[in-house]
Structure 1
Amino acid sequence: MKAFFQTDQGKVRSLNEDSGAVIPISASDVFAVVADGMGGHKAGDVASQMAVNYVKEHLDTYINDHEDTKGIIHSLIEDANQDIFTYAQDHPDCYGMGTTIVLLRATEDEIHIGHVGDSRCYKVTQNSIEQLTDDHTLVNELVKSGQITSEEAEYHPRKHVVLRALGTDPKVEIDNLKYTWEKGEYILLCSDGLSNKVTAESFVKVINQDVSLEDKVARLITMANEAGGEDNITLILVYNDVETEEGALT
């Protein structure tokens, strides 16, 4: 399993409110997390960093305490939410802060995802891309209810209104997802600073270029900045290089 993380402030924002991390467990088992601090609230950078730090600092304990991956991920996000919310209540300058989160565990044949907000997770193959997460946004709800089209959603004035976030309330609703994947496929986690600026078709094209994982990530960030770079840009690219039949790395 190979993974690479990078974050960029973008060309407009004075502060990077995104955070992320890759946490390897073994050669064929990796956790990855992306969090995007709420730009409309105070201390979005604090909230996103707290979410990522909570995962990094407590992951081993949760792995030991839970038998299944769904329980690990769900409990981590649930408790990180409470941690951020409590901190905000005790620090007036951080009151109302929040963050999105997409937390992934990738093993040789399965991916498990916990998700809150509008940061995304995609699966990319040689010829296709699939968005695995569902945005928790106002415009996405309007699209699903048929009130606006997907094309109209791209330019909707309330496009950035997030309906679910970590840290804004004592309880949070979490999407728990499970998929299979195969050797040669990629998982892309990203904040909306990337997904709002780079098309799905461009994701497939860049990710399948014959360059290093680091170069793929750098090129996607460059494309987002060239398209305006109005938001922070964060992504993690995970590549399945595991030979599943033999259970060994190539």
Structure 2
Amino acid sequence: MTAQLEAFLLSDIGRRRAQNQDSGGSFPEIGLFVVADGMGGHRGGEVASKIAVDTIHEVAATNLKHGKSSAEALTEGAKHANLRIMDRAKKEPDLEGMGTTTTSLRFEDGKVFIGHVGDSRCYLLKREGIWQLTRDHSLVQEKLRAGMITREQLKTDRMKNVITRSVGFDLHFGIDVYEYAPEAGDLFLLCSDGLTGPLEDADIHEIATRIYYAAIDTDEFKGREHGFEPLLKSLAESLVAAANDRGGDDNITALIARYPGKSP
């Protein structure tokens, strides 16, 4: 599905980091969108996240061209990215230990598929609310599920930045694949933890309500089925600005993609 797909990607270094180790990719021609948050000393994180985005794009496009499903394409993309990152680290000792999260989204007719490794996230945004569609692969999430901490304690836990799954570290890593049935006008937000660290889900929805949903009710946008990219840009910029206003401790990436059709 590629008809009238609109999206906007913004990646920001934040206020405290020397380099941006996040990467993102918007490939509407094949209905694919990707965010990756790299890790590793020196330039490792930056290299790993770029390899992941480029590889997922390349491999997914090839798989789709040969009739593979979206779920297979996203899975194979992540697997190949894992191998390429590990191979690059072997060849360049200064990159040893690098890795990355990956969260990828593929639109089909009537379906959305999400491939996920790590603690970057995919959200569904609607006028009436926000839903996290992915589950973080993180130590604090495991502690939360085990009842060891409360949701309120999660953000301040000293292990909050420890992830339990990533691309580039282990040959036998696992990727979660989710399938969702979208409605016309749904927004999907892919983001790194530089956004979700300082902002609560309610903050993200409040900004979306003020910047995006208020605007689509005006005469300029009412009844439209496409032409929303300026609003997606404004929303991404507002989200990144809000994260920076709350410290900007990490790199911040927000990719917002709109499912085609007339908004309800």
Give the aligned partner of residue 200 of structure 2. Answer: 199
Give the aligned partner of residue 260 of structure 2. Answer: 241
Give the aligned partner of residue 223 of structure 1. Answer: 242
Deviations 1:64-119 (A, max 9, x none): 23431111111111111111111111211111100000011023421101100000
TM-score (norm 1): 0.92
Tell me, yes or no, if the aligned pair for 2:24 and 2:53 is still in contact at 8 Å. Answer: yes
Q: Which runs of 5+ in 2 are unaligned?
A: 216-229
Tell me, yes or no, if the aligned pair for 2:40 and 2:95 is still in contact at 8 Å. Answer: no
Give the aligned partner of residue 16 of structure 2. Answer: 12
Give the aligned partner of residue 160 of structure 1. Answer: 161
Q: Measure, in 2, the Cα distance between the counterparts of 1:136 and 1:42.
A: 23
201-210 vs 137-146, which moves further: 201-210
Percent of aligned positions with the same letter in both sequences? 37
Q: How does 1:168-207 map to 2 (within 5 A)?
A: 168-207=169-208
* Residue identity matched to 1:238: A
Give the aligned partner of residue 67 of structure 1. Answer: 68
Report the Cα offset of residue 40 of structure 1: 6.2
Q: Measure, in 1, the Cα distance between the counterparts of 2:28 and 2:71.
A: 18
Whether 1:114 aligns to 2:115 is: yes
Give the aligned partner of residue 45 of structure 2. Answer: 44
Deviations 1:209-240 (A, max 9, x none): 31711001000000000000000000100112
Call closer, same or farther: CA 1:146–1:219 in 2, change over 3 Å.
Answer: same
Give the aligned partner of residue 6 of structure 2. Answer: 2
Tell me, yes or no, if the aligned pair for 2:7 and 2:258 is still in contact at 8 Å. Answer: yes
* Structure 1 vs Structure 2 CA RMSD: 1.7
* Residue identity matched to 1:43: G
Q: Measure, in 1, the Cα distance between the counterparts of 2:50 and 2:98.
A: 12
Q: Measure, in 2, the Cα distance between the counterparts of 1:165 and 1:232.
A: 17
Report the Cα offset of residue 151 of structure 1: 0.8
Report the Cα offset of residue 241 of structure 1: 2.6
Tell me, yes or no, if the aligned pair for 2:123 and 2:190 is still in contact at 8 Å. Answer: yes
Tell me, yes or no, if the aligned pair for 1:17 and 1:45 is still in contact at 8 Å. Answer: yes
Tell me, yes or no, if the aligned pair for 2:6 and 2:28 is still in contact at 8 Å. Answer: no
Report the Cα offset of residue 171 of structure 1: 2.4
Q: Measure, in 1, the Cα distance between the counterparts of 2:262 and 2:69.
A: 23
Q: Secondary structure at the match of 1:37?
A: strand
Whether 1:214 aligns to 2:218 is: no
* Residue identity matched to 1:224: A
* Residue identity matched to 2:27: I
Give the aligned partner of residue 232 of structure 1. Answer: 251
Give the aligned partner of residue 55 of structure 1. Answer: 56
Give the 4+ runs in structure 1 shifted more than 6 A: none
Report the Cα offset of residue 53 of structure 1: 1.3
Q: Which runs of 5+ in 1 are unaligned?
A: 245-250
* Residue identity matched to 1:199: E
Q: Measure, in 2, the Cα distance between the counterparts of 1:160 and 1:120.
A: 14
Q: Measure, in 2, the Cα distance between the counterparts of 1:108 and 1:214.
A: 24
Call closer, same or farther: CA 1:216–1:45 in 2, change over 3 Å.
Answer: same
